[in-house]
Amino acid sequence: MATQPLSTRYDTQREKLAAYFDGTARKAWIDLTSDVEVSGIRATVRAGRDAMRAQLLDWLPADLRRKSVLDAGCGTGALSVDAACRGAHVTAVDIASGLVAIARERAPGFVGHGRIDWYVGDMLDPAFGEFDHVVAMDSLIHYRSDDIVETIEALGKRCRTSIAFTFAPYTRLLGAMHMAGKLFPRGNRSPAIVPVSEAELRRKLSRLPGWKVARTQRISSGFYTSQAMELVRTR
């Protein structure tokens, strides 16, 4: 059987994610990213996402004035707001129009010394320009390692300093959950999270010219497990 080209797989998954987050998941994600009471399981996911956002922000400079940041897959915009509070000019992009609409309602265009421009679209669209820093929090967890590397390579062509992103790290538990998830009808579950080997991903990313893997940190909180990885430009 022929294998789909990487760009085709990326585009196909992107459209699935847009349909999911603009459809049945919209209300759940509005609640998850607010301060309303949620179930115990979702509370662990909320806590994990809060910790991951703090970790990614910790890897950015404390002073982001006169710096540009791409929030690639901004969702409802919490990371964009935090970066803008440090003075960044943030380009916040997400494929899900419903989530971007909520982000616009929750945050003004100007935050502190910073500014946020909200967009519905593809984070890989070169029309958004170039950036000092790129952050992609949990927007690549639905992709295989080759797709992640191709995406990072494309983003790297428009980034001057650092890229921080997250992936779903392969563990025995996540691997088993991934396989078990395939037993459920597609209509009853979200687009599958794809566990990726850290060693394999690191090896493939090390081949990208002009970049090196720097820091990495795993966050686990109940039903939330995600791993952050940072790439820094070497030339």
Structural domains of the chain in order of their starting residue, each with its CATH number: 6-233 (3.40.50.150)
pLDDT tens for the chain, residues 1 to 235: 344 555 667 888 888 787 777 776 777 777 778 877 877 888 888 899 999 999 999 999 999 999 999 999 999 999 999 999 999 999 999 999 999 999 999 987 777 789 999 999 999 999 999 999 999 999 999 999 999 999 999 999 999 999 999 999 987 766 665 555 553 434 445 567 899 999 999 999 999 999 999 999 999 998 899 999 999 999 8
Predicted pLDDT of residue 195: 92
Neighbours of 228 (CB within 10 A): 23
Please, are residues 91 and 114 in contact by the beta-carbon 8 Å criterion?
no
In residues, how long is the chain? 235
* Helices and strands per DSSP (H, E), number in the chain: 8, 8
Predicted structure pTM score: 0.86
Predicted pLDDT of residue 181: 52
What backbone phi and psi angles, to 5 degrees, belong to 165?
Answer: -145, 170
Predicted pLDDT of residue 2: 43
Run of H or E including 83: helix 78-85
Structure tokens at 133: 């820093």
Predicted pLDDT of residue 63: 97
Please, are residues 99 and 21 in contact by the beta-carbon 8 Å criterion?
yes
